[in-house]
A = this chain, B = another copy of it.
Amino acid sequence: MRFRSYAELTPADLSALLPLVSEPKPLRKGRFLQHEGDRSTAVFLLLEGWTASSMSVADGARQLVKVHLAGDLVGLPGLPVTAAPDSVVALTDIVFSRVDMDAMGDLFVQSPRVAALLFLISQEERLMLMDRLTIMGQRDTAGRLAAFLLQLHARLRRQDPSIGETLRCPLTQANFADLIGATDVHTSRVVTQLRKRKVLSWSRNEIVIHNRTALRELAGLPERVVARNQPWLPKSE
């Protein structure tokens, strides 16, 4: 669970979270959780698997805005608007649950601490988007790819520290291209170069980082360090 990154959860906190989720439902790879333009601004909790949210522009091109991992809340940015801004597609077979918004309202009343943690997580999402925006504006394709790999690796490693420098993921090179705003062709060329320079190895579903320093230099952004247990957070109960 994302919450634990910021503070310990008491039993009371955990029970406050329970009403948010209903029964888990499965969905096949390739199916959509939501389409852009949908009137229902639903929120989901991803329980297993990978999803991606994408936004498409006039000429049909699409940008992958975010990759969701198990434990991530999906759809929050659609909350303030009347139509879903992004499509959410399952990159693998997944298990998800719908989040009841009335329960979300109650959460703010009954568990200020958990609400504050949810707030913190949203700020972290903002920061990740700011980083990606900066990278997109200032770095070439190699730098963009490096930055995204580092960000994704950090997220995966938070879930499972035992992965070391290995990144197992269902994303294709075309997916990475959509994530960093490049074409699949050019992304392939860049990957080939990074392989030649022994920065990483990259086979179908497994990427291994060999030279993290080189990736950091390509990316050009500092690592973000999470601040845990902030003193201003409301106490549990």
Say whether A220 faces chain B, with CB atoms less than 8 Å apart.
yes
Do the beta carbons of B181 and A138 come within 8 Å of each other? yes
Copies of this chain per assembly: 2
Question: What 1/0 mask marks residues of chain A from 115 to 126 whose CB sits below 8 Å from any chain B CB?
Answer: 110111111111
Say whether A85 faces chain B, with CB atoms less than 8 Å apart.
yes
* Docked complex Cα distance between A134 and B36 (Å): 14
Question: What 1/0 mask marks residues of chain A from 26 to 68 whose CB sits below 8 Å from any chain B CB?
Answer: 0000000000010001000000000000010111011101100
* Docked complex Cα distance between A234 and B119 (Å): 16
Do the beta carbons of B85 and A130 come within 8 Å of each other? yes
* Docked complex Cα distance between A123 and B139 (Å): 26
Do the beta carbons of B126 and A119 come within 8 Å of each other? no
Do the beta carbons of A180 and B81 come within 8 Å of each other? no
Do the beta carbons of B105 and A233 come within 8 Å of each other? yes
Using CB atoms, name the residue of chain B closest to A143.
Answer: B57
Do the beta carbons of B41 and A126 come within 8 Å of each other? no
Do the beta carbons of A81 and B224 come within 8 Å of each other? yes
List chain B residues, Cβ under 8 A from A180: 137
Identify the 9 closest CB pairs spanning chains A and B, nearest first. A137-B181, A58-B220, A57-B220, A129-B129, A105-B232, A108-B112, A63-B134, A101-B232, A136-B136
A residues in contact (CB < 8 Å) with B: 6, 37, 41, 55, 57-59, 61-63, 65-66, 76-83, 85-86, 101-102, 104-106, 108-109, 112-113, 115-116, 118-127, 129-139, 178, 180-181, 217, 220-222, 224-227, 230-234
A-B contact pairs, 24 of them (CB 8 A): A6-B80, A55-B134, A57-B134, A58-B221, A59-B220, A62-B138, A65-B134, A66-B130, A78-B127, A79-B120, A79-B123, A79-B227, A80-B123, A80-B226, A82-B227, A102-B231, A104-B232, A105-B116, A105-B232, A105-B234, A106-B234, A129-B130, A133-B136, A137-B180
